[in-house]
Amino acid sequence: MVELKQEPKKLTAFLSGELDHHHVKEIREQIDFAVREQLPQTLILDFLHVTFMDSSGIGLIIGRSRLLEETGGRLEIHNPSQQIRKVLRLSGADRLAVIRCTVCGKEPEHEYAQ
């Protein structure tokens, strides 16, 4: 699911659970509503608590990237797991956003080169 945190110029979407076709629709609507309302300079999609993602998640990333082009913001992807990074690489969606690990100190399996 998704929890949104608004800060000055920044919107963070803390995603959790399984990002498949069944779950992305509602997440997408909530994020888009907040983006259009706040017009953040940066939208962060935080995948730390996402346990599974298929290409429906890629659709979510590509769609938000397009929305931010429209609103003049930029996209960051935080803390994708190894499985998610594999799907990101395959799709090329890893080139649409800055990918960051903000919890490497705590969880070594999240450690990777940007």
Partner 1 sequence: MNTLNELKCSFPARSENESFARTMVCAFAAQLDPTVEELADLRTAVSEAVTNSIVHAYRDAEPGLIAVTVRLLPQDIIYIRIADKGCGIADIGQAMQPLYSSAPAEERAGLGFTVMQSFTDRLTVTSHIGKGTTVIMRKKLRHGTE
| 19 Cβ contact partners less than 8 Å away, ≥ 6 residues apart | 27, 50, 52, 53, 54, 56, 57, 60
Find the helix or strand (DSSP H, E) in which 14 lies.
Answer: strand 10-19
Contact flags string 14-43 toward partner 1, x per CB under 8 A:
----x-xxx-x---x---------------
70 sits near partner 1 (criterion: CB under 8 A): no
Binder among 44, 50, 87, 97 for partner 1 (CB under 8 A): 87
Comparison of 41 and 59: residue with beta carbon closer to partner 1: 59
HSE (CB half, 13 Å, CA atoms) of 87? Answer: 18
Smallest gap from Cβ 14 to partner 1, in A, equals: 20
SS3 104: coil
Residues in touch with partner 1 (CB under 8 A): 18, 20-22, 24, 28, 52, 54-56, 58-60, 62-63, 82-83, 86-87, 90-91, 93
